[in-house]
A and B are shown apart, each in its own frame.
Chain A
Amino acid sequence: MSEQPLVTLQNVGKTFGPVTVIKDVTVSVYAGKVQVLLGENGAGKSTLIKMMAGVYQPDAGRIVVDGNTVTLPTTRAAEALGIATIHQELNLVPTMSIAENVMLGRMPTKHGMVDRSAMRNRARAALALIGLDVDVDTLVGELGIARQQLVEIAKALSINARILILDEPTAALTRHETESLFAVMADLRSRGVGMLFISHHLDEIAEVGDTVTVLRDGEFVAEVPASTPEDELVRLMVGRSIEEQYPRNAGGAAETTETAEILAVEHLSSSGRFTDINFTVRAGEVVGIAGLVGAGRTELIRAIAGADHYDSGTVTVRGRALPKANIKAAIKAGIGHVPEDRKGQGLVLDASVNDNLGYATLASTAKLGLADFAGQRSRAQAVATKLRIRMHTIDQAIGALSGGNQQKAVFGRWIIAASTVLLLDEPTRGVDVGAKVEIYELMNAITAAGGAIVMVSSELPEILGMSDRILVMRDGLLAGELTAAEATQDAVMTLAARDVADEN
Chain B
Amino acid sequence: MNLCNLEALVPQYVRQFEAYIPSPPDDELQQMFGCSRLIRMNNNENPLGPPPAAAAFLQSFDPALVSRYPSGDCRPLRARLADYLGVTPSQVILGNGANEVIAFVIKAFCQQGDNIVTADRTFAVYEWIARFSGVDARLAPLNDFGFDEEGLLARVDSRTKLVFICNPNNPTGTWWSRDRLIRFMERLGPNHIVVLDEAYAEFMDQPDYPDGISLLSRFPNLIIFRTFSKMYALAGLRIGYLVGTEQVTDIVRKTAIVYSVNTLAQSAALAALGDQTFITATRSLVQEGQQMLAAQCAELKLPILTSDCNFAMIKLPFSDTLAYRLLMQQGYMVRTMTGFRFPGWIRVSIAGREAMQGFCTALSRLVHSRTDQSPLAKVYGVF
Task: Say whether A and B bind each other.
Answer: no
Binding site for B on A (CB under 8 A): none
